[in-house]
């Protein structure tokens, strides 16, 4: 446990000492919120609330996939990463610290979305719903964290960037994060339940008071968590750093 905290603290320090990384993390979701949600759904209380929830899920997805997918792949080519694997600690402090840090920076990243939503739209939540919503976001990020770790440990960084981008956008669109949930195109209704993004966003929608997660989407969400978790652990165990060193 104390090693988990140690690794978390050091990874945190490494990140915050390059502050531009934090700004980048929060920019994209905030900009999407300003350009897509405020003008189109800002006046409708339910629509704005759901769209805010979708956008926050979008932010969580992107942060989890990109931070891990690219961050891990880049770390692995540094001699420091294999060195830390010679220290007497199993995989969990390091993997756990990566997840905790990602969650922390994810929350920092969704804060601007929340502020924009509160100031410029009719979206409303009670304090309890807000807390539940944040909890649902954290839970919803799990499969993306694990997928990101899998990609980062399985691929070199250039391939990881491409794969993350290929994975991220179809999942966001297909899961219905960028369309009106109450009037979605038919193909999205058909594919969405099979994507982890749908299970995640339905959790968040339910937390802020709209609908309840459908069994199919929730079951598929659990399947994604199990598969992505198994893949992440497999890739971590298989990783030996650079081939020759």
Partner 1 sequence: MAEPTTAPGAGPGAAPSSPPDPGAEPEQSLVRAVEVTRRYGDVTALDRVSLGVRPGELVGLLGPNGAGKSTLINLFCGLRRPTSGRVELLGGSPADPVRRRGIGVTPQETGLPATLRVGEIVDFVAAHYPRSVARGALLERFGLSGLERRQVGGLSGGQKRRLAVALAFVGDPRLVFLDEPTTGLDVEARRALWDAIRDFHSGGGTVVLTSHYLEEVEALAERVVVIGQGRVLADGTTEQVRDIAGVRRVTLTAGDLPALPGVLRVEREGDRTHLLTSDADALVRELVRADVPFSGLEVRPTSLEEAFLTITAGSEAA
Please count the residues of the chain.
245
Residues 6+ apart with CB under 8 A from 208: 49, 50, 53, 125, 129, 130, 132, 133
Q: Judged by CB, which is closer to partner 1: 90, or 127?
A: 90
234 binds partner 1 (CB under 8 A): no
The enclosing H or E element of 56 equals: helix 45-76
Binding positions for partner 1, 146-205, rule CB under 8 A = none
Q: CA 65: distance to chain centroid?
A: 6
Query: Does residue 90 belong to the site contacting partner 1 (CB under 8 A)?
Result: yes
Q: Is 13 in the site for partner 1 (CB under 8 A)?
A: yes
* Minimum separation from the CB atom of position 57 to partner 1 (A): 31
CB nearer to partner 1: pick between 90 and 215? 90
Nearer to partner 1 among residue 89 and residue 139 (C-beta): 89
Q: What are the angstrom distances between the C-alpha of 77 and each of 73, 83, 160, 229?
A: 7, 11, 13, 23
Q: Which segment (3-11, 33-41, 116-124, 168-176) binds partner 1 by CB under 8 A?
A: 3-11
Write b or e for each residue in 54-71: b if 16 or more Cβ atoms lie within 10 A of its Cβ, otherwise e: bbbbbbbbbbbbbbbbbb
Does residue 20 bind partner 1 (CB under 8 A)? no
- Among 22, 28, 36, 82, contact with partner 1 (rule: CB under 8 A): 82
Locate 50 and state its tokens: 């759901």
Residues contacting partner 1: total by CB under 8 A: 24
Report residue 5 as tokens. 């905290």
Among 27, 35, 40, 83, binds partner 1 (CB under 8 A): 83
Which are the contacts of 164, defined by CB distance < 8 A and separation ≥ 6?
Answer: 65, 66, 69, 70, 148, 151
Of the ranges 73-81, 109-117, 165-173, 200-208, which one interacts with partner 1 (CB under 8 A)? 73-81
> Which segment (53-61, 88-96, 188-196, 217-225) binds partner 1 by CB under 8 A?
88-96
The CA-CA-CA angle for residues 66, 20, 153, to 5°, reads 25
Q: In this chain, which of 22, 34, 46, 89 binds partner 1, going by CB under 8 A?
A: 89
d(CA 175, CA 190): 10
Binding residues (CB under 8 A) for partner 1: these are 2-3, 6, 10, 13-14, 17-18, 78-80, 82-83, 85-90, 240-241, 243-245
């Amino acid at each position: 446990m104390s090693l988990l905290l140690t690794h978390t603290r050091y990874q945190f320090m490494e990140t915050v000492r390059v502050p531009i990384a934090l700004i980048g993390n929060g920019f994209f979701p905030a900009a999407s919120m300003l350009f897509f949600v405020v003008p189109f759904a800002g006046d409708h209380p339910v629509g704005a609330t759901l769209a805010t929830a979708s956008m926050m899920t979008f932010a969580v997805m992107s942060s989890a996939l990109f931070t891990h997918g690219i961050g891990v792949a880049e770390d692995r080519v540094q001699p420091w990463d294999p060195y830390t694997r010679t220290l007497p600690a199993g995989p969990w402090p390091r993997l756990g610290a990566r997840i905790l840090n990602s969650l922390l920076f994810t929350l920092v990243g969704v804060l601007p979305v929340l502020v924009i939503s509160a100031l410029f739209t009719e979206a409303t939540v009670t304090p309890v719903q807000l807390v539940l919503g944040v909890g649902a976001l954290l839970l919803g990020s799990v499969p993306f964290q694990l997928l990101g770790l899998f990609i980062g440990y399985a691929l070199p960084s250039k391939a990881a960037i491409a794969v993350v981008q290929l994975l991220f956008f179809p999942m966001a669109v297909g899961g219905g994060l960028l369309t009106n949930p109450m009037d979605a195109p038919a193909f999205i209704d058909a594919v969405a339940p099979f994507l982890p993004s749908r299970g995640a966003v339905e959790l968040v929608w339910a937390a802020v008071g709209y609908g309840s997660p459908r069994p199919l989407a929730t079951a598929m969400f659990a399947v994604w968590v199990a598969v992505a978790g198994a893949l992440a652990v497999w890739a971590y165990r298989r990783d030996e750093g650079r081939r020759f060193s």
